[in-house]
Structure 1
């Protein structure tokens, strides 16, 4: 099997659909010999900020000398990004070997009367086994969707459960209220476990607190009173948190300060389970942490910025950061969204800030057509709005329109941002 065939096979598994429940995944882990028992686990759920928080935790652990596995989704440019060891993507050859290993087990499950693993279950199984084979010390696992029935929640135990900001997203699957969504996210909390949470809305926090009481889990909240931001620019932030002074992060946006504080609390909590992290490693790891596609500045003069905001909360946060952290003359917005998202909520938060808008179509079967999106945008703004279905053409047109004092902002879906990032980095920016 070649690398291309392996990735094609993984994607072909989507034909089996998505099924709620952990029975299948637990059976697969049993057949693999419970690989998750061989390393410590940090488990991260939430609506927004999961990836950034995972990246910061992973970076600090590496700075402290631990061998780490990082499992995230979706990927931006290459599939291998989803499974990393010490910051490096799984090599093509190793991915092929892992597909060859898990595929017969999935086929055996079907013979025994189980459902075929879903695509996400299959990838999760690869990651968990690969981390065992590579003898990682700690795996940082990002929840794919929700938490309670997510494939990552099939692991037997976690050393710390982390819940980032909770808001409205995936309502058809998780529920149409903050309380229902919070209940699903809180599904990663374990009996007598350690839980760290980002500052939540009252409704979400009440659900998390109740779940912790039910399971006798210890809850640690980010202490907003001890957080002081000292500097915030389009290059990153500097802040104090509790006894830590002048903490630097390169991830851009005020929300990343809160994600960093959440990561800090998770790392301190992890120390209760035998993980040693010096203050030097903590500060170094946070400073070095990177998470592409999240308020990422690819170029200045003009600013070229990409952000994976794909729900109303993310779009609201993006709009505030663009206003507070950047100085520009005109905002040229290129946006593409998935049709199963809260498109109205996204547009209401970001479209009014634009001087020119180009609607395009993300590379996904779930994408909203560019002309449909353009009509929705025209209902909200008085500026020039154009529909360009092809992403490459949309990127080039936006760059052509931008003066050196302007900003070109690409947002709306990670499926769009990954494609845009690749076009910009390898085709357009090198020639500017």
Structure 2
């Protein structure tokens, strides 16, 4: 298959849907010769922060000279972004070639894999064929029944901040969701945990104890921010002084601390990683779509905040970085999110809403979302397209105003594309 054929196959409707469980992915990986078992893997689960944490860890490993695979989801602008080696997206030809191999094995299966299982298999095959030294693997949904959990012996299992999201699949309470995330913990393994509520930590620690695994945590009391601007952040953590990251927001400092502790765990496992690798890796990490400044004049920010915790982090960032400035929001939300509470949380810092319809069957139509906002006595207008939304936002702007697009990762990549085209 060529590139276009491979994407058509991956996104093909006959393999759509979500089917939690490991039977299909286990069968498919068996047919491929279980390449995942021949890789050294750092497995990362969580509700918020797992992508950023994965990116920090991967960049530090790259700086230390390790050929590093990175598997994340979703993508912002191009499918290939999901599968990288040393920051390079999988090439079109390689994606086509490996998809062909995976399809040939799938043809032997009676029960066909889902789209995410197919993508997971492609990633494992790619990382194995190109002989990665280490792979940083982000969970897609949950943990226990996520297709990435087909792996057996990770170097490290990392669990980031856990909040309420995907309740239809993972449970309605934090302990229930924590149990699903804890499913990535294997027997006799090392676990790195983001410090959080006692009810969540109790679940993680119980599962780890049952599996004879050791849980370590970052110490956020030893984390201190020194400087903060849209250029990035300067901070101290434990013995490390004046570390820099370009990612914005206090939550990113905490994700960086988790990455530092994860790197320390890898050092204990024999990885040769010096402090200079850690410093350069942290400073060089980029994670598109997470409170990312995509244009300076006018100032445009995109953020993938799509649940309550993400929205709260967004509000904190806006309050700290843009005090007293008018904020024009471009907002698109999926119907299965708690959009009413999300709007309640964010509305105090937004001056005007422009709604869009994300390219997803679960999206709330722009007109319906705008009508809800107006009913809540919030200024809002629906845009017919992403291009129209950006145009309306630019028209609404005055000097020193800020445009912020958020609410779903399924459309902010399109906003980035439109803004880039306008400013070419």
Q: What's the TM-score bracket when you normalise by the shorter of the two chains?
A: over 0.9
Structure 2 counterpart of 1:365: 361
Cα deviation, residue 404, structure 1: 2.4
Q: 1:190 aligned to 186, 191, 194, which one?
A: 186
* Mapped partners of 2:284, 2:231: distance in 1: 13
Matched, 1:308 2:272: no
Counterpart contact for 1:328–1:407, Cα < 8 Å:
no
Counterpart contact for 2:318–2:349, Cα < 8 Å:
no
Counterpart contact for 1:328–1:405, Cα < 8 Å:
no
Q: 1:219 aligned to 215, 220, 227, which one?
A: 215
- Post-superposition Cα deviations, 1:289-335, rounded to whole Å, max 9, x if no partner, equal 00011000122243211000001110111011110122453111110
Structure 1 counterpart of 2:396: 401
Matched, 1:84 2:84: yes
Matched, 1:419 2:411: no
* Mapped partners of 1:347, 1:416: distance in 2: 18
* Mapped partners of 2:168, 2:14: distance in 1: 19
* Mapped partners of 1:12, 1:56: distance in 2: 33
Matched, 1:429 2:423: yes
Residues 11-410 of structure 1 aligned to structure 2 (within 5 Å): 11-13=11-13, 15-110=15-110, 115-327=111-323, 329-382=325-378, 384-410=379-405
Gaps of 5+ in 2: none
Q: What TM-score do you get using the length of structure 1 for normalisation?
A: 0.96
* 1:389–1:205 CA distance, 2 compared to 1 (3 A): farther
* Mapped partners of 1:221, 1:2: distance in 2: 45
* 1:379–1:316 CA distance, 2 compared to 1 (3 A): farther
| SS at 1:29 equivalent | helix
Gaps of 5+ in 1: none
- Post-superposition Cα deviations, 1:51-93, rounded to whole Å, max 9, x if no partner, equal 1111111100000000010000000000000100110000000
Cα deviation, residue 363, structure 1: 1.3
| SS at 1:408 equivalent | strand
Once the two structures are overlaid, the 10-residue window that deviates more, 2-11 or 146-155, is 2-11
* Mapped partners of 1:136, 1:51: distance in 2: 19
* Mapped partners of 2:172, 2:62: distance in 1: 38
| SS at 1:422 equivalent | helix
* Mapped partners of 2:373, 2:132: distance in 1: 47
Count of matched residue pairs: 424
* Mapped partners of 1:327, 1:303: distance in 2: 14
| SS at 2:131 equivalent | coil
* Mapped partners of 1:318, 1:75: distance in 2: 20
Cα deviation, residue 12, structure 1: 0.6
Q: What TM-score do you get using the length of structure 2 for normalisation?
A: 0.98
Runs of 4+ in 1 over 6 A off after TM superposition: none
* Mapped partners of 2:200, 2:371: distance in 1: 35
Once the two structures are overlaid, the 10-residue window that deviates more, 57-66 or 225-234, is 225-234
Counterpart contact for 1:191–1:217, Cα < 8 Å:
yes
Two-structure CA RMSD over aligned residues (Å): 1.2
